[in-house]
Amino acid sequence: MEVVLRKLGPKPGRPVVGRLVRAPRRGAVVVIEFPDGLHEYVTTPVRRILRVAGEEVYYLQTTNSRYRLEVRHASPSATESSIVR
Protein backbone atom coordinates (compact mmCIF):
# COMPACT_ATOMS: atom_id res chain seq x y z
CA MET A 1 0.00 0.00 0.00
CA GLU A 2 1.20 3.50 -0.77
CA VAL A 3 1.59 5.76 2.25
CA VAL A 4 2.82 9.22 3.26
CA LEU A 5 4.77 9.47 6.52
CA ARG A 6 5.26 12.92 8.07
CA LYS A 7 7.40 13.56 11.11
CA LEU A 8 5.69 15.81 13.69
CA GLY A 9 7.23 18.20 16.18
CA PRO A 10 9.60 21.16 16.18
CA LYS A 11 11.75 19.75 13.31
CA PRO A 12 9.18 18.21 10.97
CA GLY A 13 11.35 17.40 7.93
CA ARG A 14 10.07 16.40 4.51
CA PRO A 15 7.27 13.86 3.96
CA VAL A 16 8.27 10.31 3.03
CA VAL A 17 6.17 8.83 0.21
CA GLY A 18 6.48 5.17 -0.66
CA ARG A 19 5.28 1.61 -0.22
CA LEU A 20 4.66 0.31 3.29
CA VAL A 21 6.86 -2.77 3.70
CA ARG A 22 6.36 -3.43 7.40
CA ALA A 23 3.11 -2.34 9.02
CA PRO A 24 3.25 -0.49 12.35
CA ARG A 25 3.08 -2.79 15.37
CA ARG A 26 3.98 -2.07 18.96
CA GLY A 27 7.63 -2.88 19.57
CA ALA A 28 8.52 -3.17 15.85
CA VAL A 29 9.94 -0.67 13.38
CA VAL A 30 8.03 0.80 10.43
CA VAL A 31 9.70 0.31 7.04
CA ILE A 32 8.75 2.37 3.96
CA GLU A 33 10.34 1.63 0.58
CA PHE A 34 10.98 4.61 -1.71
CA PRO A 35 9.61 4.49 -5.29
CA ASP A 36 13.09 3.81 -6.71
CA GLY A 37 13.10 0.44 -4.91
CA LEU A 38 16.67 0.95 -3.72
CA HIS A 39 16.17 2.90 -0.50
CA GLU A 40 14.07 2.50 2.64
CA TYR A 41 13.03 4.71 5.53
CA VAL A 42 13.10 2.91 8.88
CA THR A 43 11.75 4.34 12.14
CA THR A 44 12.73 3.46 15.68
CA PRO A 45 10.46 0.91 17.50
CA VAL A 46 6.79 1.94 17.80
CA ARG A 47 5.45 2.64 21.29
CA ARG A 48 1.90 3.85 20.56
CA ILE A 49 -0.53 3.82 17.60
CA LEU A 50 -3.62 6.03 17.33
CA ARG A 51 -6.11 5.95 14.45
CA VAL A 52 -8.39 8.77 13.30
CA ALA A 53 -11.93 7.37 13.26
CA GLY A 54 -13.37 6.85 9.78
CA GLU A 55 -10.11 7.65 8.00
CA GLU A 56 -6.93 5.86 6.99
CA VAL A 57 -4.75 8.17 9.09
CA TYR A 58 -2.60 6.92 11.96
CA TYR A 59 -0.48 8.74 14.50
CA LEU A 60 2.59 6.84 15.66
CA GLN A 61 4.80 7.48 18.64
CA THR A 62 8.18 5.79 18.39
CA THR A 63 11.03 5.66 20.87
CA ASN A 64 12.19 9.17 19.98
CA SER A 65 9.77 10.66 17.40
CA ARG A 66 6.12 11.17 16.46
CA TYR A 67 4.71 10.58 12.97
CA ARG A 68 1.50 10.94 10.97
CA LEU A 69 0.95 7.99 8.61
CA GLU A 70 -1.62 8.49 5.84
CA VAL A 71 -2.64 5.61 3.58
CA ARG A 72 -2.94 6.88 -0.01
CA HIS A 73 -3.70 3.72 -1.97
CA ALA A 74 -4.39 0.38 -0.35
CA SER A 75 -3.79 -2.72 -2.45
CA PRO A 76 -6.77 -5.11 -2.76
CA SER A 77 -5.13 -7.66 -0.46
CA ALA A 78 -4.28 -5.07 2.22
CA THR A 79 -6.90 -4.59 4.86
CA GLU A 80 -7.17 -2.64 8.06
CA SER A 81 -6.14 -5.77 9.97
CA SER A 82 -2.62 -5.43 8.54
CA ILE A 83 -2.05 -2.50 10.91
CA VAL A 84 -2.16 -3.89 14.42
CA ARG A 85 -2.55 -1.73 17.50
The pLDDT of residue 79 is 47
- For residue 33, what are the domain limits? 2-79
| H-helix or E-strand spanning residue 64 | none
Q: CA distances (Å), 83 to each of 9, 18, 60, in order?
A: 23, 16, 11
Q: Does residue 84 form part of some domain?
A: no
- Using the predicted structure, report yes or no on whether residue 71 has a pLDDT greater than 70: yes
pTM over 0.75: yes
Q: How far apart are CA 60 and CA 28, in angstroms?
A: 12
Q: Does residue 85 form part of some domain?
A: no
Q: Does residue 40 form part of some domain?
A: yes
Summarised one tens digit per residue, pLDDT across range 3-57 is 999 999 888 888 999 999 988 999 999 999 999 888 999 999 999 999 998 889 9
Q: Does residue 70 form part of some domain?
A: yes
